[in-house]
Amino acid sequence: MHREQTGAAGGETPVGPLAGFTVGVTAARRADELGALLRRRGAEVMHAPALRIVPLADDSELLAATKQLIDSAPDVVVATTAIGFRGWVEAADGWGLGDALLDRLREVRLLARGPKVRGAIRAAGLTEEWYPASESMAEVLERLLEEGVEGHRIAVQLHGEPLPGFVESLRAGGAEVVGVPVYRWMPPEDIGPVDRLLDATVARALDAVTFTSAPAAASLLDRAERRGMREELLDALRHDVLPACVGPVTALPLEAHDIPTSQPERFRLGPLVQLLTAELPGRVRPLPVAGRRLEIRGHAVVVDGELRTVPPAGMALLRALARRPGWVVARSELLRSLPGAGRDEHAVETAMARLRTSLGSPKLIQTVVKRGYRLALDPSADTKYGGE
């Protein structure tokens, strides 16, 4: 697991759109790139790869499929991803089968999933017969079925992602389908980071979890099941922690459990991060308090555009006060919001003092003698937020 805080405690540096939020990253491949994009916008990142990729050079299944296709030519080869196609050719080169594979692919009908795969095919010195500009496997399937596949042998370059109904539909149409398993996924060698990410999600210590592959989403759900915490995880993802998926295929394992997901219009890492920069701040309700603008984010507070880091106990108190802005919250109720505080209400006073120091403005929270505390909501905001 990699966890790193980014943010400014002073007013000179602009607060990033994700400052104060913590985002979980489940990706194994391109996790560094995704993490860098998130941190650049101020987020704290918790990295826990939910899967690991089987090295191509060691993949006996891919080697066997490659030999099978060289020995017995298929009628059609469907290339689904650019990185997968390149990896397949490179692996074949490493086994001394590169030329034989390319020679075979020149003899068959080669279909590409989209423009990026087409580029990989051209880079290998090959020419595709056709590709859909939509990058939709459904469109590839429709074309094949319209042409008729009965009695045809079709090889499909897989990439660790499910292809819902694709292979089944081809077989139902009478085709023999050969899977080429490029980049197979396996559980991570160290499960510790995944368990810590699960614990943080259930505890609502994360604001969002990102998924860039369906196997990673399925693996996280499976691990939660093994630990007896699946229902807790589902509840967190349904109501409090934003599940952000790079595309609809990636979202399938989550949506099968009735978890609503957010997806960018373009299925890329950049748009995925842009989605988070819009949705997470959009979940925050700014509060006008004591003449200041208060934003309570995941693990920090923004006061008039200045990021203020607040200890966990202070965040717990602030959230309890913000549930009813302007209303007095009793010490006993605030005590219940403090994790592991016991029964001593003095713990509330200690945590409150530290909270006020962290906020840099003691007047934001008022003490109501013998009753408790309240956020000093501006009088003009009473009709909007409610008050005593």
Residues 68 and 175 in one domain: yes
Q: pLDDT value at position 58?
A: 78
What does the pLDDT read at residue 384?
47
- Tell me which residue of 328, 310, 314, 311 sits closest to 377, measured CA to CA: 328
Residue 9 has pLDDT above 70, yes or no: no
Which amino acid, one-letter code, is at 275?
Answer: L
The percent of residues in the chain predicted with pLDDT above 70, rounded, is 92
Who contacts 21 (Cβ-Cβ below 8 Å, separation ≥6)?
42, 43, 44, 207, 208, 276, 280, 297, 298, 299
Domain match, 134 and 208 both: no
Confidence tier at 1 by pLDDT (50, 70, 90): very low
67 plus 44 within the same structural domain:
no
CA distances from 326 to 166, 322, 338, 378, 385 (A): 56, 8, 20, 8, 8
Q: What is the mean pLDDT of residues 54-64?
A: 84
Q: Is the pLDDT of residue 75 over 80?
A: yes
Which of 132, 165, 183 finishes a domain? 183
Q: What is the pLDDT of residues 311-367, one digit of tens each?
A: 889 999 999 999 888 899 998 899 988 876 666 778 889 999 999 999 988 889 999
Q: Are 335 and 341 in contact (CB under 8 A)?
A: yes
Residue 201: pLDDT over 50: yes
- Asked if 65 and 173 sit in the same domain, the reply is yes
pLDDT for 159 beyond 80: no
Q: Residues 324, 353: one domain?
A: yes
Residues 75 and 172 reside in one and the same domain:
yes
Q: What is the CATH number of the domain that holds 105?
A: 3.40.50.10090
Q: Residue 182: pLDDT above 60? A: yes
Query: Would you state the structure tokens that stand for residue 270, as one six-digit string?
Result: 């950049």
Average pLDDT, the chain: 89
Answer yes or no: do 67 and 172 share one domain.
yes
Would the CA dihedral through 345, 355, 360, 385 be positive or negative?
A: negative
CATH number at residue 352: 1.10.10.10
Domain that holds residue 74: 56-183
Confidence band (pLDDT; 50, 70, 90) for 161? Answer: low
| Percentage of the chain lying above the pLDDT 90 cut | 65
48 and 197 assigned to the same domain: yes
What confidence score (pLDDT) does residue 275 get?
A: 96
Q: Do 177 and 192 fall into the same domain?
A: no
pLDDT above 60 for 123: yes
Q: Give the SS3 label for residue 322.
A: helix
Binning pLDDT at 50, 70 and 90, where does residue 10 land?
very low
263 and 380 both lie in a single domain: no
Domain final residue, candidates 254, 282, 310: 282
Q: What digits encode the pLDDT tens for the residues 77-119?
A: 999 988 889 999 999 999 999 999 999 999 999 999 988 899 9
> What is the reported pLDDT for 116?
87
Q: Which pLDDT does position 3 carry in this prediction?
A: 41
Q: Do 164 and 203 fall within a single domain?
A: no
Higher pLDDT, 266 or 287: 287
Mean pLDDT of 243-248: 92
Cβ neighbours for 172, distance < 8 A, ≥ 6 positions apart: none
381 — pLDDT class (breaks 50, 70, 90): low
Q: Count how many domains the chain has.
A: 3
| 70 shares its domain with 173 | yes
